[in-house]
Amino acid sequence: HAAEAQRTDLMTITRHVLNEQGRHPESRGDFTILLSHIVLGCKFVASAVNKAGLAKLIGLAGDTNVQASNPISPRLPALLYSTGEEQKKLDVLSNEVFVKALVSSGRTCVLVSEENEEAIFVDAPLRGKYCVCFDPLDGSSNIDCGVSIGTIFGIYMIKDKDNVTLDDVLQPGTDMLAAGYCMYGSSCTLVLSTGNGVNGFTLDPSLGEFILTHPNIKIPNRGKIYSVNEGNAKNWDAPTAKFVEKCKFPQDGSPSKSLRYIGSMVADVHRTLLYGGIFLYPADQKSPNGKLRYADANSELQSVLYEVFPMSFLMEQAGGQAFTGKQRALELVPRKIHDRSPIFLGSYDDVEDIKALYASES
Ligand code: AHM
Ligand code: MG
């Protein structure tokens, strides 16, 4: 069987991006170089999550400092990673690896990380034309129990080479050049869009290479799954409450939807992309009736720059939609780098339903 024969023509992520760039004769390979540095960060996290260097893992036993840092239960220890003289939590260590990889690529000028309060401006000798917004390790509540977590990133181009400012990242999501995520799950999968569809690559650990396994991903127009933290239901607004009620008790004869919620945006969005359905992180009535365009930084909502925009970009590129409850998510214009927003994203028709509920309310 031809299908069973060992594949010998491997489409690595680098080869794929170089092929795509071949369509732009003016390109000089800068994006390929930038991406290879992002891929390095992803491989580092993949290896750490798999506990490949188990001897460098410490903090499994009952040190009191360690116990205090567990996000869910103070009685449980958090995993710490030894970097020689220091001990660090995996999200902090991952952030350092990504920042250093991005700076040393020589292709970035501004970095926004969920782990850094301020944006990082790259010094002149290493400065390049790309701005990267990222969450190095999202889903922190899932790290210590071995549930899927991920890295999310969005890439912009600098506006004016000689004058780099925060405005280079405070752009609407429609200006994004590329976006992606890497999921550290039962396999390690990197999903990428450079604005020409969505492709998924799986890390072959024996080769250390991401191989194209999910070419041209398209999300089904409608799905059978909804994904939301229902524990927050008491704070939902009326359209969200009505939508979830209809998922459970459909009035039109359609079957009820299944609920799946991991609590790692990357894993929940990845499943939504492949199987269809909708992921919701809805508005919260604690932020005055959802009238405020942006919730304050302490809110639980998803971050615009490194969660909402990259995931919305991928959804649209795969034929789905992303909506904030008020507008197309990619048309938001962030005012601050850590701004947050509600988000509804997934299958085209499922997002149409929530849009209709918001429209009928106003
Ligand atoms: P984190 O940045 O602390 O890791 O939290 C972000 C995560 C998202 O991945 C996920 O979608 C969401 O928080 C889950 O939130 P909740 O636990 O409120 O349902
Ligand atoms: Mg996060």
CA distance 21 to 32: 8
| Ligand 1 surroundings by CB, under 6 angstroms | 114, 138-141, 229, 263-265, 300
Which residue has its alpha carbon closest to ligand 1 atom 14? 263
CA distance 96 to 57: 17
Tell me, in angstroms, the distance from the centre of ligand 1 to residue 14's CA.
30
Q: For ligand 1, what atom is nearest to the CA of residue 142?
A: 4
Tell me, in angstroms, the distance from the centre of ligand 2 to residue 25's CA.
37
Evaluate whether 126 touches 103 at the Cβ level (below 8 Å): yes
Tally Cβ neighbours within 10 Å of residue 243: 22
Return the ∠ at Cα 152 (arms to 197 and 178), rounded to 5°. 35
- Position 293 scores a pLDDT of 37
Strand 258-259 and strand 225-227: the pairing is parallel
- Position 279 scores a pLDDT of 98
Q: How far apart are the first and last CA of the chain?
A: 59
- Position 4 scores a pLDDT of 59
| Helix (H) or strand (E) segment spanning residue 345 | strand 343-346
- Position 72 scores a pLDDT of 59
Evaluate whether 41 touches 49 at the Cβ level (below 8 Å): no
Tally Cβ neighbours within 10 Å of residue 325: 21
Q: Average pLDDT for consecutive 10-residue bins of the chain (362 residues)?
A: 72 93 77 96 92 69 45 64 74 93 96 94 93 94 90 94 88 96 96 97 96 97 97 93 97 95 97 98 65 46 93 98 96 93 96 97 80
Q: Which of 49, 138, 308 to mutate for ligand 1's pocket (most ligand atoms within 8 Å of CB)?
A: 138
Tally Cβ neighbours within 10 Å of residue 112: 25
The token duo for 185 is 């799950």
- Position 76 scores a pLDDT of 62
- Position 5 scores a pLDDT of 67
- Position 64 scores a pLDDT of 42
What does the DSSP assignment read for 109-167?
A: EEEEETT-SSPEEPPGGGEEEEEEEEEEEE-GGGGGGT--EEEEEEEEE-S-TT---GG
CA atoms within 13 A on the CB side of 289: 4
What does the DSSP assignment read for 257-289?
A: PEE---S-HHHHHHHHHHH--EEEE---TTTGG
